[in-house]
Structure formats: C-alpha cells, structure tokens
Amino acid sequence: MDETPGRLTAKPSWLITQLAVHARRLVFDGFAAAGARGYHYRILAALHEFGPASQAELGRRCRIDRSDVVAAVNELAEQGFAVRAPDPDHGRRNRVTLTDDGLRQLRRMDGVLDQVQDDLLKPLSVEDRQTLTRLLGRVLAQYEPE
C-alpha cells in the first residue's frame, strides 16, 4: 500500500475527513440491514425526545432539507413508524407523531448505532472514546447556530 504523506496524516482535519468516510459507510450499511436510513433515525429520535412536531420543526431540529423531511416522513408513515395528521392548532400544518412501532424501530436503530460505534472506535478504550466524544463535541459547538 502506498504511504500517505505525513503532512496530511498530521492534520486533524484530514484524519476526521478520512474517518467520516468509514463512519458513513458503517452507518449506511447497518441501517440498510435494518431497512432504514439515517434520516429515519434522526426523525424518530427527535419525535421520541421532543414529542410530536411539524415537518418544518423536524427539518430544523434534524438538519434535514424540507423536501427530504417530507420524503422520510412519508416512508416512516408507510411503515407505521409515524403518523402524520393535521395540526389542530394550525390548519395548514401537519403534525408528526411517533408510534409504538416507531419506538421499537428507533430502539433497533439505536442498537445498530451502538454496534457502529464499537466497530469504528475498536482501538480505543472506553475512557479514550469518552474523551474523543467530548473533544469533538467541543470543537463542533463553535460551529453550531446560536
């Protein structure tokens, strides 16, 4: 195998980018095996944590484009994981609610993501994983909208 130039491997941005490729593949493959997608997880997690929400709220919370939210909610509703109904407080808006089957799917997907974390971070101890997560969160926080 060809060696990678040291000036690249010494840059955290390069390492994060390379690792992100592997993380995305592991998540995609794990969710595909569970008959799901990443957007599904984001939406189900938001519904579980925050309760029923409009599609616009879901898009903002989950950082998903409006048209992708509509498609993902359609898929979740077809699978019985979410219910979309008119919002009684706002006639032109739909409200999306998590179903019991949706909660079971969310828990399955949590298991998939737990396994992905284990596979991705296999060389690290529990303490190192916690430190990495804390540091990445701190770096990411500077880019979060206020």
pLDDT in tens, 69-119: 999 999 999 999 999 998 888 778 889 999 999 999 999 999 999 999 999
**Does residue 59 lie within any of the structural domains?**
yes
- What is the CATH classification number for the domain harbouring 104? 1.10.10.10
Determine contact, residues 47/97, Cβ cutoff 8 Å.
Answer: yes
**Does residue 12 lie within any of the structural domains?**
no
Query: Count of domains in the chain?
Result: 1
Determine contact, residues 70/12, Cβ cutoff 8 Å.
Answer: no
**Does residue 15 lie within any of the structural domains?**
no
Domain that holds residue 89: 37-141
d(CA 144, CA 23): 21
**Does residue 64 lie within any of the structural domains?**
yes
Neighbouring C-beta atoms of residue 18, cutoff 10 Å: 13
Angle value at C-alpha 115, between 3 and 140, nearest 5 degrees: 65
Q: What is the pLDDT of residues 115-143, one digit of tens each?
A: 999 999 999 999 999 999 999 999 999 99
d(CA 54, CA 37): 20
Give the global pTM.
Answer: 0.87
Of 17-26, 36-45, 54-63, 88-97, where does mean pLDDT reach its minimum? 88-97
**Does residue 103 lie within any of the structural domains?**
yes
**Does residue 70 lie within any of the structural domains?**
yes
- Residue 1 pLDDT > 70: no
| pLDDT of the residue at 87 | 84
